[in-house]
Structure 1
Amino acid sequence: MKKYLCTIFLTSLMSFGAAQAQNVKNAIVGVGAFTCGDWTEARSGRGTPILASATETWAQGYLSGSNQQYSAEYVTLPSVSTINAYLENYCRQYPLKRIHEGLGALYAQLAKEGVR
């Protein structure tokens, strides 16, 4: 009986979590969900070292996906070093913002400037 009740409870809990996730629009998971402060700390060597390198790959995927989703004409995406420089400046100004917000701002700027 205990096993049966535990199974029902866990199933209900998982269903509730899935329903909650469906109600969240534009949910970001992975590296992009970390704060700029986390990323800055990782790049300085004081935080989680893998976060700094993982961000580079995640950022390229995020920007490439934005290109696919939002542009009739593709925006020319910057190099990894340019992305890092942009994020450094953005994160210095907004340490509580998320990495994906900085990348969204970068993409918006590139699209506005018509970098093709």
Structure 2
Amino acid sequence: MKKVTPVFWISIAIAAVFVLWGIIAPENLGDQTGKIQAFLSAKFGWFYLLTVAIFLIFSVYLIFSPYGKLRLGQPNEKPEYNKITWFAMLFSAGMGIGLVFWGSAEPLAHFAS
């Protein structure tokens, strides 16, 4: 069994502080996190959009460059799944996470309003 590192204990401590803060003073936590989100959106929204655009351009470059022909695995090994199967798996995963998220988020949003 692996030894538990200090990163684990620090993460647990930070999460516990936020959980306790939410239990003790939920309005205050909501106000503070709202202010932080508004600040980050106002000051760094451009950075987020620029980063997404750069990653998109880089991904398209990788697809159409010689790096797009590289295979993972042994040199003569064929892919285990064809492209249609990969598309089906990725599409299913995307739909699944959407259903899992909105399956609980939408009723809670209606309940809250």
Q: TM-score, length-normalised on structure 2?
A: 0.27
Higher Rg of the two aligned structures: 2
Q: Which has the higher helix share?
A: 2
